[in-house]
Amino acid sequence: MYLLGQCSSEDFNLASCQCVILVILYACSFYNERLAADNQILASVEQYILPNGGNFPYEINVSAMLTLLVHLYAFVRGISCSYSIPYSPEAKKTLFHAMTRKEWDLLVIRVHPVAIKWLFQKQDLMEPLALQMLNFCKTFCEHETVMLSDSSQVLDIQMIAEMVLSGETSISFLLVSLVNQIVKEGTEDEVFSVVNTIAEILMIFPSCSDQFI
């Protein structure tokens, strides 16, 4: 993981190796496997973020890799919530800045509930998270499901509903805010997609209704 701390902006081979390492760490998160202790993984990911930010060589799919990096960072931060692991505020700021400026999409990868919960607790990410939720609502409305495969580890309506039920995330606030915003600035289809998503959440968990007031 030493390679993650190197600046790869002008070295495609190094950048490729770093992407492979990130993919391996990402995959391990789904099987409770660790290549190192959580604090070491977080430190390595932060060492990658600081010199590189969200920059990848043009040959690499920037959106997919940034999404994977966001998920990996959120997962490690999420699992460390129960115990204190030092983190770099500068790395967090750098990644959050990239998330605001660049394109990323939680629907293109498998996701872990721990990572999603941590992300949707961050008040300073409301703008990019609102875009993620709008994208989810539009996709759900079009297909009545948001699935990548037979895996249960996807961002689907059940996971969203469970996050709302927990009351530990800002998802319900984001959905209500989206309705208010797109009624003024959006399209009729966008309004319908968000309202339809809220209705589906209430169908799954009627007790969530007080969170949408």
**Which of the listed residues 56, 81, 105 is the one where a domain comes to its end?**
105
Q: Which domain holds residue 160?
A: 120-213
**Which of the listed residues 60, 78, 105 is the one where a domain comes to its end?**
105
Domain count, the chain: 2
Q: Is the same domain home to 87 and 169?
A: no
Q: Is the same domain home to 17 and 85?
A: yes
Residue 134 has a CB neighbour count (10 Å cut-off) of 20
Q: Which among 65, 34, 71, 39 has a CA at the least distance from the CA of 52?
A: 65
Q: How confident is the model at residue 194 (pLDDT cuts 50, 70, 90)?
A: very high
> What pLDDT, on the 0 to 100 scale, is given for residue 145?
54
Whether residue 27 is contained in a domain is answered as yes
How far is residue 91's CA from residue 89's CA, in Å, rounded to a whole number? Answer: 6
Which residue has 């890799």 as its token pair? 65
Whether residue 148 is contained in a domain is answered as yes
Q: Is the same domain home to 95 and 148?
A: no
Residue 150 has pLDDT above 70, yes or no: no
Q: Is the same domain home to 99 and 23?
A: yes
Ranges of H-type helices in the chain: 12-28, 38-52, 62-79, 89-101, 113-119, 126-143, 157-166, 171-185, 188-204
For 9-60, what is each residue's pLDDT tens digit? 678 888 889 889 999 999 988 887 777 888 899 999 999 999 887 777 666 7
Q: Average pLDDT of the chain?
A: 88
Q: What is the mean pLDDT of residues 156-160?
A: 91
For 75-111, what is each residue's pLDDT tens digit? 999 998 877 889 999 999 999 999 999 999 999 899 9
Q: Is the same domain home to 98 and 125?
A: no
How far is residue 28's CA from residue 194's CA, in Å, rounded to a whole number? Answer: 33
Whether residue 114 is contained in a domain is answered as no
